[in-house]
Structure 1
Amino acid sequence: MKILYLSQHFPPEIGAAQARAYDMSMNLVEEGCDVTVVTAFPNHVSSKKLFQTSKHLGLNVIRSYVVQDTKKSTLRRMLNYVSFMTTSIIAGLFAKKPDVVFATTPQLFVGLSGYVLSKLKRAKFVIEVRDLWVDFAEVLNQINNKKLLTMARKLEWFLFKQADHIVVVTHGYKRYLVEKGISESKIDVITNGVNPSEMGLLVPEEGMKIRSEYGLEDQFLILYAGNMGIAQGLQTVLEAAYKLKGVSSITFVLIGEGAEKDRLQKYKKEQDLHNVMILDSRAKQELNGFYAAADLCLVILKNHPLFDITIPSKLFDCLAMNKPILLGIGGESKEIVKSLNAGLFFEPENAESLANVVLEATSNPDIMEQLEKDVRSKMLLKYNRQELSRNLARLLESTQDRVKGWSQ
């Protein structure tokens, strides 16, 4: 089966979207699929090329030009989205004819690119919905223009209607789309997960090295590693740190990039939060030492019903590291952590709740001892990305077979 896989984000960029696209496309190759990925040049690289082709372990990769996203300008971000839509369509024309065009969102213009290429290539169109982009944009006030919201919803609905199949990453997303009128039979859930080969066992010495390097030898260390965007609500973490300023044995370490990072650094400076460290993004391998050093791994989103049906990919990363979770999300994420007895919980966007849970964990060692220490193997029974890729390959194959049946 020949697959044209569209994802604006792809390594060497760092992030959840990039990791999923890489792992899934490489695993599809291992399943015997002929995969061509159409992606953008890395956002941090100012490329003067329009296109670039390469091959990596059997995976064909075509990179296309995009206007760089500064993360600070809405206009710049829209130009980034639209430029990739335009150049990815052109790049896709030069790829061999696929059986299926698989477009992963957000953003929606990747879906539109996939739809156009599926028509031009006379292939089936499958769209992957990794988050409810339009709904989140409205909730987070990223789009407050009603006309733009209406147009975005029309585009979203058009893509859902035109897709031969829809892949979502949580059961809550499937229920949400079914409630909106999409046929249940048209939607399959393929969750996020981890590649077992990439998430090795932690080396205690690496954790000790990190603690020594940053002067954290005697600290109860709470680690957040991921996107610092609006959706994460990391202001709550800093507010909790402010409440804990008088406790000298607790440190929050935040690692990553995002639209909120500058504001968080400013608040840290203004409030003189010596119990908070904000560090630049690291590659997955470089994070191992921080995971080894951490007592708790923080997974957090803002307080809204939409986030109760969202499962951040970093949750699986932390579980794969056998690290207890400090969770500020309800819904499916909370159900997963509870079922594994793998973490502690605080109310989303409630700094006092977060501070109280941290204090309880540090003052009562038995609480930490009661948490399951071997959750990795249990988690991989359901969230192994190799098996998830096999499910995706079967789904895409069945989509192609159904089309053959309809065309006869």
Structure 2
Amino acid sequence: MKILFLTFYFEPDLSAGSFRNTSLFKELLNHLNDDDTLEVITTHPNRYDSFKAKAKDKEGIKKGVVVNRIKIPEHGSGIIGQIKSYKEFYFRALNLTKDKKYDLVYASSSRLFTAYLGAKIARKKKAKLYLDIRDIFRETITDLYKNKIINLGLNLVLKPVENYTFGRAGHINLVSKGFKGYFENYKKAEYSFFTNGIDELFLSLPIDNIEEKKSEVKTIIYGGNIGEGQGLDLIIPDIAKKLSRTHKFQIIGDGGAREKLEEKLKVNNIENVEMIPPVSRNELINYYQKADYLFLHLNKHKAFERVLPSKLFEYGTFNKPIIAGVDGYAKQFLKENMSNLILFEPTNADELYNSLTNFGYKNEERIQFKKNYSREEINKRMTKSIISFGND
């Protein structure tokens, strides 16, 4: 079987998509026959302008297995920049595949257009299409932009793209069961729900290295993207001000809303928030181990009630309390699968303050959660699904 593997993010980039697809790729390698081929088309690291990592344009892994990386323009997480970057990826990928044959196209996509690219190539090559959908782009983008004229224009463009893409797929994996209702009209595809998972790097951490730190000032940490979807500028300045004497915050990462957050902190003279550029996963783990609380927040938009943030799977491996400002499916998932939580309504600093100040601090290992959501086990099941679909 000849497999094309499309993902905008891949190792050594820092992103949930990179971690997910690199680990899945490695599992797929274990299931290839001698006459199988596997070609990855991805980008050079670009998730954060402030994080640079070198990688080869073309990397031969072993016989029949190659990773092609496309250089794209820096985009700074802005919409126009991202459009230019995806356009470059799209046409370069079409060029790389024009003279090749594939039996199966796998495309992992959060912003729809990698999935659309997969659908286009699959149609041209008469190949089967397996989509891994990590976000519902059209719903998210139209929810963020409240202007009716802008939304009308976005829907006129995105709805046909979405119909073409999802209507072409024979199998669609949804990383969140919260997405299920959105896909009810696409009945051609088979569906699966392989979530994000916990990497071995986190599962192998010694528990005795992450004990509660006895100190007067507690540290609350967030590590990840700082974009409109996280809405950190709508919660961190307010809650940090309320907790100025008792807690400090460490915000690690980068993204389109970082400057907005920094400006609010500056205007309000907030000094107990430390902004830290993106770091490697090993460095991030060190920060997590030294912190007292792990923080997560999603902006208050209808679209985010469907999502299941990948960050939860990292956080769940530590025995620290998790502070989560989420609603919808993510809130339901946390209640059903984790303990030692502080849940609050997104953007509601008063509720968070009351819950945190009345919280009985404790450390608690989430043993069952780690067993249920091992990335390795999820990848084995997903790989079996991909291979089975390709061979049908």
Matched with 2:383 is: 393
Q: Following the alignment from structure 2 to structure 1, what is the Cα–Cα distance between the partners of residues 183 and 120?
A: 23
Taking only the aligned residue pairs, the percentage that are identical comes to 26
The one of 40, 49, 58 aligned to 1:53 = 58
In the alignment, structure 1 residue 374 sits paired with structure 2 residue 365: yes
Secondary structure of 2:270's aligned partner: coil
Q: Following the alignment from structure 1 to structure 2, what is the Cα–Cα distance between the partners of residues 12 and 280?
A: 17
Q: Following the alignment from structure 2 to structure 1, what is the Cα–Cα distance between the partners of residues 189 and 87?
A: 31
Matched with 2:168 is: 162
Deviation at 1:127, TM superposition (A): 1.5
* 8 A Cα contact 2:174 2:192, kept in partner: yes
Matched with 1:351 is: 349
In the alignment, structure 1 residue 98 sits paired with structure 2 residue 102: yes
The one of 169, 186, 191 aligned to 1:187 = 191
Structure 2 letter corresponding to 1:108: L
Deviation at 1:198, TM superposition (A): 4.7
> Could you give the per-residue CA deviations for residues 162-208 of structure 1, whole angstroms, max 9, x where no partner exists?
11111110111123211xx1228622111111122454325777999
Q: Following the alignment from structure 2 to structure 1, what is the Cα–Cα distance between the partners of residues 6 and 205?
A: 32
Deviation at 1:146, TM superposition (A): 1.7
Q: Which moved more, 1:255-264 or 1:235-244?
A: 235-244
Structure 1 letter corresponding to 2:373: Y
In the alignment, structure 1 residue 150 sits paired with structure 2 residue 156: yes
* 8 A Cα contact 1:81 1:107, kept in partner: no
Unaligned runs of 5+ in 1: 362-366, 403-408
The one of 253, 257, 269 aligned to 2:254 = 257
Matched with 1:283 is: 280
Deviation at 1:291, TM superposition (A): 0.8
> Could you give the per-residue CA deviations for residues 32-74 of structure 1, whole angstroms, max 9, x where no partner exists?
4753211012224999x9x9210347852101232221224x3
After TM superposition, where is structure 1 displaced by more than 6 Å over at least 4 residues in a row? 203-208
Assess, with a 3 A threshold, how the Cα gap between structure 1 residues 155 and 185 changes in structure 2: closer, same or farther.
closer
Deviation at 1:78, TM superposition (A): 1.0
Matched with 1:38 is: 41
Structure 2 letter corresponding to 1:368: Y
Matched with 1:84 is: 89
Q: Following the alignment from structure 2 to structure 1, what is the Cα–Cα distance between the partners of residues 371 and 103?
A: 30
Q: Which moved more, 1:332-341 or 1:251-260?
A: 332-341
* 8 A Cα contact 1:193 1:316, kept in partner: yes
Q: Following the alignment from structure 1 to structure 2, what is the Cα–Cα distance between the partners of residues 177 and 307?
A: 16
Deviation at 1:254, TM superposition (A): 0.7
* 8 A Cα contact 1:202 1:292, kept in partner: no
* 8 A Cα contact 1:203 1:289, kept in partner: no
Q: Following the alignment from structure 1 to structure 2, what is the Cα–Cα distance between the partners of residues 287 and 94?
A: 42
Matched with 2:138 is: 134
Q: Following the alignment from structure 1 to structure 2, what is the Cα–Cα distance between the partners of residues 155 and 205?
A: 48
Structure 2 letter corresponding to 1:167: N
Assess, with a 3 A threshold, how the Cα gap between structure 1 residues 141 and 252 changes in structure 2: closer, same or farther.
same
Q: Following the alignment from structure 2 to structure 1, what is the Cα–Cα distance between the partners of residues 31 and 146?
A: 39
* 8 A Cα contact 2:167 2:188, kept in partner: no
* 8 A Cα contact 2:144 2:301, kept in partner: no
Structure 1 letter corresponding to 2:160: K
Structure 2 letter corresponding to 1:191: T
Q: Following the alignment from structure 1 to structure 2, what is the Cα–Cα distance between the partners of residues 337 and 359?
A: 21
CA RMSD of aligned residues (A): 2.7
Secondary structure of 2:286's aligned partner: helix
Q: Following the alignment from structure 2 to structure 1, what is the Cα–Cα distance between the partners of residues 127 and 319?
A: 42
Q: Following the alignment from structure 2 to structure 1, what is the Cα–Cα distance between the partners of residues 361 and 114?
A: 43
Q: Following the alignment from structure 1 to structure 2, what is the Cα–Cα distance between the partners of residues 206 and 296?
A: 11
Q: Following the alignment from structure 1 to structure 2, what is the Cα–Cα distance between the partners of residues 14 and 395?
A: 26
Structure 2 letter corresponding to 1:80: S
Q: Following the alignment from structure 2 to structure 1, what is the Cα–Cα distance between the partners of residues 146 and 52?
A: 26
Q: Following the alignment from structure 2 to structure 1, what is the Cα–Cα distance between the partners of residues 146 and 224?
A: 20
> Could you give the per-residue CA deviations for residues 13-49 of structure 1, whole angstroms, max 9, x where no partner exists?
21111111111111221344753211012224999x9
Secondary structure of 1:37's aligned partner: strand
* 8 A Cα contact 1:325 1:337, kept in partner: no
* 8 A Cα contact 2:24 2:383, kept in partner: no
Q: Which moved more, 1:11-20 or 1:36-45?
A: 36-45
* 8 A Cα contact 1:174 1:189, kept in partner: no
- TM normalised by structure 2 equals 0.88
Secondary structure of 1:320's aligned partner: coil
5 Å-filtered alignment, 1:105-254, equals 105-141=109-145, 144-178=150-184, 181-183=185-187, 186-201=190-205, 218-235=216-233, 236-245=235-244, 248-254=245-251
> Could you give the per-residue CA deviations for residues 285-331 of structure 1, whole angstroms, max 9, x where no partner exists?
11111111111111110123322221100000000223321111123
Assess, with a 3 A threshold, how the Cα gap between structure 1 residues 292 and 14 changes in structure 2: closer, same or farther.
same
Unaligned runs of 5+ in 2: none
The one of 300, 304, 309 aligned to 1:307 = 304
Secondary structure of 2:316's aligned partner: helix
Assess, with a 3 A threshold, how the Cα gap between structure 1 residues 286 and 243 changes in structure 2: closer, same or farther.
same
Equivalent pairs, count: 380
Q: Following the alignment from structure 2 to structure 1, what is the Cα–Cα distance between the partners of residues 179 and 95?
A: 31
* 8 A Cα contact 1:241 1:355, kept in partner: no
Assess, with a 3 A threshold, how the Cα gap between structure 1 residues 203 and 381 changes in structure 2: closer, same or farther.
closer
Q: Following the alignment from structure 2 to structure 1, what is the Cα–Cα distance between the partners of residues 62 and 180?
A: 33
Deviation at 1:119, TM superposition (A): 2.8
Secondary structure of 2:382's aligned partner: helix
Assess, with a 3 A threshold, how the Cα gap between structure 1 residues 269 and 94 changes in structure 2: closer, same or farther.
farther
Q: Following the alignment from structure 2 to structure 1, what is the Cα–Cα distance between the partners of residues 350 and 298?
A: 16
* 8 A Cα contact 1:8 1:40, kept in partner: yes
Structure 2 letter corresponding to 1:261: R
